[in-house]
């Protein structure tokens, strides 16, 4: 494989090949990530993939004409696409497109472009488990690997058929990280290990009941996705998060209770460059969880009293630990008007000792769940260093930018 063009040498484009699988919708997110990275992306769908995501979507998002066959526009599209192409990424790659490429077929614009180019090719297979495991597919994949193709996934998970198994396309962030690597750009967080807590802890009252909170974990997940897509090695400590939300490509540690979060964070401190405490960790837990279910009839005279005891404050423990990572960012969920939220936030920033505290207003319908978010980021002295809002992904970008800048200043 020849040396591919480096970003500073020419304005190369990336070809995003999309074949006909239900995961084609995820290719839209991959396109957005690559565009955000500054790449010009030329989308080349196979003809039947347009059944899943139409031409109008690709043209609308790239502002370029999108073709599927070689004879459109004079017949030289594939040469023009292949020339100056820094990388080709095919996501999803169906069993059919994998077979055609492995055999050197050139029967549509995508396969012809692949044949005409000598740049790195990243493929992200997506298909039903049986098709993935079929000897023919495995032989084709082995041939492509031998030719130097980068095969990303597929992952184990729920499939569109309702089955569970290998065949699910890797997440767009993970594929994008491989594309960047193939292109020669590894992301501003390459080589950095980031520990992220996400979700809300549950403190057992008895085997069926707990004290919990309304955190869905979405903000922490968005931060993990952003860090992954920028090349970081992410360890995600999850407290009661829906499995489907957890991105692939990070190491996951399950930590249902405050004590579990404490143990998981402390055991990873020494080898983390940054910690983001996005989890809503309980401040109090029942002093002793009942070993058996608390029964109503045993408490007829009065409701049972649950004695609480304080949990360990993970963020404060980290901030004063000799193993403290280079950058520590905590969250503060506060209720009230803007002034109240900010003054609680400033007091907390001083108390917690983290480098940054992302303060946001929460309530029954703000801050928690699948809703937009707004954060003020305070430094240890309680002054606002940056602020912004939007989707949880937008907030994640603001925070990861800040962490990345902090690494830069520390390394400068």
Instruction: Check binding of 319 to ligand CTP (CB under 6 A).
Output: no
Closest listed residue to residue 250, CA positions, set 280, 282, 272: 272
Residues 6+ apart with CB under 8 A from 339: none
Q: Quick check: 311 binds ligand CTP (CB under 6 A)?
A: yes
Nearer to ligand CTP, 186 or 312 (CB): 312
Beta bridge partners of 89: 16, 122
Tell me, residue by residue from 231 to 270, as one string, x for binding to ligand CTP by CB under 6 A and - for no binding. Answer: ---------------------------x------------
Closest CA to 230 of 266, 271, 179: 179
Q: Which stretch binds ligand CTP (CB under 6 A): 101-109, 120-128, 329-337, 383-391?
A: 329-337
196 lies in the binding site for ligand CTP (CB under 6 A): no
Q: How far is the CB of 321 from ligand CTP (least distance, A)?
A: 12
Residue 103 vs 312, nearer CB to ligand CTP: 312
Closest CA to 327 of 261, 380, 262: 380
Nearer to ligand CTP, 248 or 311 (CB): 311
Confirm or reject binding of residue 402 to ligand CTP (CB under 6 A): no
The H-or-E segment that residue 350 falls in is helix 338-352
**Interface with ligand CTP includes 330 (CB under 6 A)?**
yes
Q: Which helix (H) or strand (E) holds 110?
A: helix 109-116
Q: Which of residues 61-100 bind ligand CTP (CB under 6 A)?
A: none
Catalytic residue among 67, 140, 213, 360: 213
Least Å from the CB of residue 350 to ligand CTP: 12
For ligand CTP, the closer of residues 127 and 315 by Cβ is 315
Tokens of 12: 């190369």
How many Cα atoms are found within 13 Å in the side-chain-facing hemisphere of 293? 5
Three-class secondary structure of residue 386 per DSSP: strand
DSSP string, 122-174: EEEE---HHHHHSHHHHHHHHHHHHTTPEE--PEEEE-TTS-EEEEEPPPHHH
Question: In this structure, are residues 144 and 151 in contact, taking their beta carbons and an 8 Å threshold?
Answer: yes
DSSP string, 206-232: SSS-EE-----SHHHHHHHHHHHHTT-
Judged by CB under 6 A, which stretch of 35-43, 180-188, 308-316, 399-407 contacts ligand CTP?
A: 308-316
Contact criterion met (CB below 8 Å) for 328 and 275: yes
The residue range among 66-74, 227-235, 325-333, 364-372 that interacts with ligand CTP, by the rule CB under 6 A, is: 325-333
Q: Taking the complex as a whole, how short is the minimal distance between the CB of residue 250 and ligand CTP, in angstroms? A: 18
Phi and psi at 153, nearest 5°, equal 75, -160
273 included as an active-site residue: no
Minimum CB separation from ligand CTP for residue 348, in Å?
6
- Residue 343 binds ligand CTP (CB under 6 A): no
Q: Which of 313, 321, 385, 398 binds ligand CTP (CB under 6 A)?
A: 313
**Residue 361 contacts ligand CTP per CB under 6 A:** no
Smaller CB separation from ligand CTP, 327 or 332: 332
CA atoms of 309 and 241, how far apart (whole Å): 25
With respect to ligand CTP, which residue has the nearer C-beta, 126 or 281?
Answer: 281
Least distance to ligand CTP, CB of residue 213, Å: 9
Question: Taking CB under 6 A as the rule, does residue 223 contact ligand CTP?
Answer: no
Q: Tell the smallest beta-carbon distance from residue 283 to ligand CTP (Å).
A: 4
Count of residues binding ligand CTP (CB under 6 A)?
Answer: 14
Binds ligand CTP (CB under 6 A): choice among 41, 44, 114, 279: 279
**CA gap 22, 39 in Å, rounded:** 25
Cα–Cα nearest to 353, from 384, 324, 312: 324
The answer to whether residue 314 forms part of the interface with ligand CTP (CB under 6 A) is: yes
By C-alpha distance, which of 153, 214, 187 is closest to 365? 214
| Paired sense of beta strands 210-211 and 150-151, if any | unpaired
- Is 87 or 328 the residue whose CB approaches ligand CTP more closely? 328
Please count the other Cβ atoms lying within 10 Å of the Cβ belonging to residue 281. 27
Contact 384, 404 (CB under 8 A): no
Please calculate the CA angle 378-379-383 and round it to the nearest 5 degrees.
60
Q: Give me the least distance between CB of 335 and ligand CTP, in Å please.
A: 9
Residues that bind ligand CTP (CB under 6 A): 258, 277, 279, 281, 283, 311, 313-315, 330-333, 348
Active site members: 213
């Amino acid at each position: 494989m020849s040396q591919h063009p480096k970003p500073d040498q020419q304005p190369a484009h990336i070809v995003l090949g999309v074949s006909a699988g239900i995961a084609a919708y995820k290719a839209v997110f991959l396109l957005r990530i690559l565009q955000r990275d500054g790449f010009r992306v030329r989308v080349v769908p196979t003809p039947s993939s347009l059944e899943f995501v139409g031409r109008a979507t690709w043209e609308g998002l790239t502002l370029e004409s999108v073709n599927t066959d070689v004879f459109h526009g004079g017949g030289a599209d594939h040469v023009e696409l292949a020339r100056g192409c820094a990388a080709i990424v095919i996501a999803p790659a169906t069993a059919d497109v994998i077979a055609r490429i492995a055999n050197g077929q050139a029967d549509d614009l995508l396969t012809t472009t692949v044949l005409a180019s000598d740049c790195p090719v990243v493929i992200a297979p997506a298909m039903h488990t049986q098709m993935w495991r079929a000897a023919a597919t495995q032989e084709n994949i082995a041939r492509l690997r031998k030719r130097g193709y980068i095969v990303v996934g597929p992952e184990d998970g729920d499939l569109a058929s309702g089955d569970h198994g290998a065949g699910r396309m890797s997440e767009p962030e993970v594929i994008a990280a491989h594309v960047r690597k193939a292109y020669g750009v590894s992301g501003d967080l390459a080589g950095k290990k980031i520990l992220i807590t996400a979700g809300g802890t549950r403190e057992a009252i008895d085997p069926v009941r707990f004290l919990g909170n309304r955190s869905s974990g979405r903000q922490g997940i968005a931060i993990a996705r952003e860090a992954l897509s920028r090349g970081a090695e992410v360890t995600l400590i999850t407290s009661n998060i829906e499995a489907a939300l957890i991105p692939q490509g990070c190491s996951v540690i399950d930590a249902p209770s405050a004590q579990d979060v404490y143990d998981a964070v402390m055991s990873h401190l020494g080898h983390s460059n940054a910690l983001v405490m996005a989890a809503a960790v309980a401040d109090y837990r029942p002093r002793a969880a009942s070993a058996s279910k608390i029964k109503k009839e045993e408490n007829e005279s009065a409701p049972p009293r649950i004695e609480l005891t304080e949990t360990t404050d993970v963020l404060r423990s980290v901030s004063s630990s000799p193993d403290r990572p280079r950058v520590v960012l905590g969250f503060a969920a506060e209720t009230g008007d803007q002034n109240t939220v900010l003054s609680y936030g400033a007091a907390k920033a001083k108390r917690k000792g983290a480098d940054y505290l992302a303060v946001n207003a929460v309530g029954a319908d703000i801050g928690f769940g699948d809703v937009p978010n707004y954060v003020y980021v305070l430094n240890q002295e309680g002054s606002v260093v940056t602020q912004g809002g939007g989707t949880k992904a937008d907030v994640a970008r603001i925070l990861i930018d800040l962490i990345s800048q902090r690494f830069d200043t520390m390394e400068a």
